[in-house]
């Protein structure tokens, strides 16, 4: 079973629009971590954020914000006022403490920001 | 602070040939991971090292694959008798052991094409 589901395969938005990337995860652990990574066309995965399962506070970093809701097992990522440089594939990942902190990646959402 | 580096960035080989990839982690990181990523998928775990010890291998890592990290610094991933199904991006990541899930910092990857 897929532990991390990113149902949106591809999204296109016009520059300056807001966009939300969905991530739904599945785990039986009470202690786990959630991550978002960005993979631009160059190929290198860039770390964006890590949250632990005990911290449901939403986080904002510039134009990026994250909404963690344990009740719905979701960890969604919103980009406000999107820019062309935001075009990339975004991956959500889950790490479970009881399985040796193994990373489980979703299949990614490809975001295209049209100028 | 230099990031994770990988060499080569691209490799084209004929089926049946052996290939070797190198990864240099962030210098103070004691954990090193290898992942494989195919088109449209998230990275899949292959193996990881803590210092020079190889602690875990995925079932994806067939007998044709071998990884080493002889001095606990750089690592090599060798694929023997390559097959077309081995064509993928091979990603290396490193992290610093600490409590909780360590953030993986990824290199730019080596794209392997087996013809």
- Among all residues of chain A, which has the CA nearest to that of B55? A100
pLDDT at B100: 63
Question: Quick one: which of A77, A109, A108, A106 has its CA closest to A2?
Answer: A106
How many residues are given for chain A? 115
Residue B100 region by backbone torsions, left for phi larger than 0, else alpha for psi between -120 and 50, else beta: left
Number of alpha helices (DSSP H) and beta strands (DSSP E) in chain B? 0, 11
> How buried is residue A5: exposed, middle or buried, by Cβ count under 10 Å (0-12/13-18/19+)?
middle
pLDDT at A1: 61
Q: Is B45 in contact with A103 (Cβ distance < 8 A)?
A: yes
Rounded Cα distance, B104 and A76, in Å: 20
Closest CA–CA distance from residue B13 to any residue of chain A (Å): 20
Rounded Cα distance, A113 and B21, in Å: 34
Could you tell me where the DSSP H helices lie in A17-113? none
pLDDT over 80 (residue A87): yes
A9: confidence class by pLDDT, cuts 50, 70, 90: very high
Query: A38 and A105 in contact (C-beta within 8 Å)?
Result: no
Pairing relationship of beta strands A74-79 and A19-21 according to DSSP bridges? antiparallel
pLDDT over 70 (residue A113): yes
Touching A: B residues 13-32, CB under 8 Å: none
Which of A4, A46, A102 lies at the smallest CB-CB distance from B45?
A102
Contacts of A103 in chain B (CB under 8 A): 43, 45, 104
What tens digit of pLDDT does each residue of A36-68 get?
Answer: 999 998 889 999 999 989 988 888 889 999 999
User: In percent, how much of chain A has pLDDT > 70?
Assistant: 97
pLDDT at A2: 74
State whether residue A52 sits within 8 Å of chain B by CB: yes
* Residue ranges of chain B whose pLDDT lies below 50: none
In terms of C-beta distances under 8 Å and separation of at least 24 residues, what long-range contacts does B30-33 make, across chains too? B30/B72, B30/B96, B30/B97, B31/B94, B31/B95, B31/B96, B31/B97, B31/B102, B32/B69, B32/B75, B32/B92, B32/B93, B32/B94, B33/B92, B33/B93, B33/B94, B33/B95, B33/B104
- 3-state SS class at B27: coil
């Amino acid at each position: 079973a897929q532990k991390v589901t990113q149902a949106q395969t591809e999204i296109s938005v016009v520059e300056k629009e807001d966009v939300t990337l969905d991530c739904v995860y599945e785990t039986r652990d009470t202690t786990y971590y959630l991550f978002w990574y960005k993979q631009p066309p160059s190929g290198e995965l860039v770390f964006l954020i890590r949250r632990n399962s005990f911290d449901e506070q939403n986080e904002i970093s510039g134009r990026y914000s994250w909404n963690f809701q344990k009740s719905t097992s979701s960890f969604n990522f919103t980009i406000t006022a999107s820019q062309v440089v935001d075009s990339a594939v975004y991956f959500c990942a889950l790490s479970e403490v009881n399985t040796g902190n193994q990373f489980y990646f979703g299949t990614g959402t490809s975001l295209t920001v049209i100028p | 602070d230099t990031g994770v580096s990988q060499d080569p960035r691209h490799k084209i080989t004929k089926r049946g040939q052996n290939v070797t990839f190198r990864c240099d982690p962030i210098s103070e990181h004691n954990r090193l991971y290898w992942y494989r990523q195919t088109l449209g998928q998230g990275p899949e775990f292959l193996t990881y090292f803590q210092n020079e010890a190889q602690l875990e291998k995925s079932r994806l890592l067939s007998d044709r694959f071998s990884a080493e990290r002889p001095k606990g610094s750089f690592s090599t991933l060798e694929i023997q008798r390559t097959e077309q199904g081995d064509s993928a991006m091979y990603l290396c990541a490193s992290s610093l052991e600490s409590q909780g899930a360590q953030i993986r910092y990824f290199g730019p990857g080596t794209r392997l094409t087996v013809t």
